[in-house]
Structure 1
Amino acid sequence: MLTIVRREPRILGYDRSRWSLEGLQQVVEWLSGLSVSGVWRLLRRLGIHYKQARSYIHSPDPDYEAKLARIQDYIRLAKAKPEKYVVLFQDELTYYRQPSEAKAYEAVGKAQPQARRSPHKNSQRRIAAAMEIFTGKVVYMQKSRIGVDELVAFYEKVVEAFPDRTIYMVQDNWPVHFHADVLAALEPQTFEWPLRVPWNWPKEPSSRARHLNLPIRLVMLPTYASWANPIEKLWRWLKQDVLHLHAYAEKWTKLWQRVDEFLDKYAEGSADLLRYVGLTTNSALYGPALSHVGPPPLLPD
């Protein structure tokens, strides 16, 4: 039954964009003897409820499975040789002075929870963070902007946190990640897939580039696959605990401090964070997406 309700109704001959109880009654032969309320009760017994949809974009990346499989390969390598390798999931987040609206408790009736706003400009703040896959250790930096210089400074901070190891940095396809001046700061990179950067960006580092030879190897996530980056759930937790309906629109710097306090809790790792982001079974991180793909060979030393 779950297979049926997940399919588009028109494919099965019901000319609607969504299933209704009547539609299921018409299309599913063994439901035809039940009343509409009987169909509803049956679905309840089967654990199938009428639920709010969520937005979803299927990654159009032609190398989707290959990229996920390669990330799994790096995870196995880091697990086998933790003294030499580490895997981090990295991302950036923007948050704002004005509180985001969200559900909260209030009296029944027309009264609604209040998101107290400020007449000031809706300033923004940027965070770059990376989370280690086995411990949940978080390294982060927050600034008014994250550009090339800030990203390189953040990478230096990451290397300080994980000394004497090669760092596999799993990240999305934000072009700044692959700017020539950013790449100049890292050890030489070998990319298995084409980089996605603006055509008019320089191919060579500028005179301002810092050649630091940082032991970081960049690993691409598939395009439009934010679900594949567990640190996205850290951002969700931050929003739930700190940013939604916050009371600091008039105390902008205080909100920065609250964000720092939240992220500092994970500076030494956290089992709670690993559970929240779904990394307690990290050896099969992309199991459902790769169930039909054989594991790639372990990367050479």
Structure 2
Amino acid sequence: DYEKGKILCMEEERFDAKVFLSFLHQVLKQYPEGKIVMVLDNARIHHAKLIQPFLEKYNSRLELVFLPPYSPNLNPIEGLWKWLKSSIIYNVFYTSVAEIRKAVREFIQKVNQQPQRVIDRL
């Protein structure tokens, strides 16, 4: 959320169109009023047939803006990923995936308490 500096995320075993659709439902629930614009890359799940009826139903509330292919430099979320990697991945050895997930959850909780820093990184 670029206005409030809040991060909305989901933790799943894998990401597919069903998970993305679930995330879109979560976004609308989190922001019940107003227009929502999401900036996305061109991952297949973002264009899946499964989500098209949902997008048609909520087209007055939700707009997906797709970046040109191979342009991560234009994606605002990349600043957050860089921050996450430098905070919890670089020069750290984790003995399990569970430890990495825990570190990511703690990072998200920590940065959600620092909205201006989140905005500055986007």
TM-score normalised by length of structure 1: 0.37
Given that 2:10 and 2:23 are in contact with CA atoms closer than 8 Å, whether structure 1 keeps it comes out as: yes
* Residue of structure 2 in register with 1:155 after alignment: 24
Instruction: Quote how far apart the aligned CAs of 1:243 are.
Output: 1.4
Q: Do structure 1's residue 255 and structure 2's residue 100 form an aligned pair?
A: yes
User: How many residues get paired?
Assistant: 120
Structure 2 gap ranges (5+): none
Q: Do structure 1's residue 229 and structure 2's residue 98 form an aligned pair?
A: no
Given that 1:138 and 1:268 are in contact with CA atoms closer than 8 Å, whether structure 2 keeps it comes out as: no
Instruction: Quote how far apart the aligned CAs of 1:172 are.
Output: 1.2
Identity among equivalent positions (%) equals: 28
Larger radius of gyration: 1
The residue type equivalent to 1:222 in the other structure is P
Q: Per the alignment, in what secondary structure is the counterpart of residue 173 of structure 1?
A: coil
Which residues in structure 2 correspond to 1:64-79 (within 5 Å)? none
* Residue of structure 1 in register with 2:15 after alignment: 146
* Residue of structure 2 in register with 1:170 after alignment: 39
Structure 1 gap ranges (5+): 1-131, 189-212, 278-301
* Residue of structure 1 in register with 2:110 after alignment: 265
Q: Per the alignment, in what secondary structure is the counterpart of residue 136 of structure 1?
A: coil
The residue type equivalent to 1:146 in the other structure is F
Question: Quick one: distance in 2 between partners of 1:265 and 1:223?
Answer: 32
- Structure number with greater CO (CA < 8 Å, separation at least 6) is 2
> What is the RMSD of the two structures over their aligned residues, measured on CA atoms?
1.8
Gap change, CA 1:161 and 1:267, over 3 Å in 2 = farther
Which residues in structure 2 correspond to 1:42-121 (within 5 Å)? none
Question: Quick one: distance in 2 between partners of 1:219 and 1:232?
Answer: 16
Question: Quick one: distance in 1 between partners of 2:87 and 2:113?
Answer: 20
Q: Per the alignment, in what secondary structure is the counterpart of residue 150 of structure 1?
A: helix
TM-score normalised by length of structure 2: 0.86
The structure richer in strand per residue is: 1
* Residue of structure 2 in register with 1:283 after alignment: none
Question: Quick one: distance in 2 between partners of 1:268 and 1:183?
Answer: 34
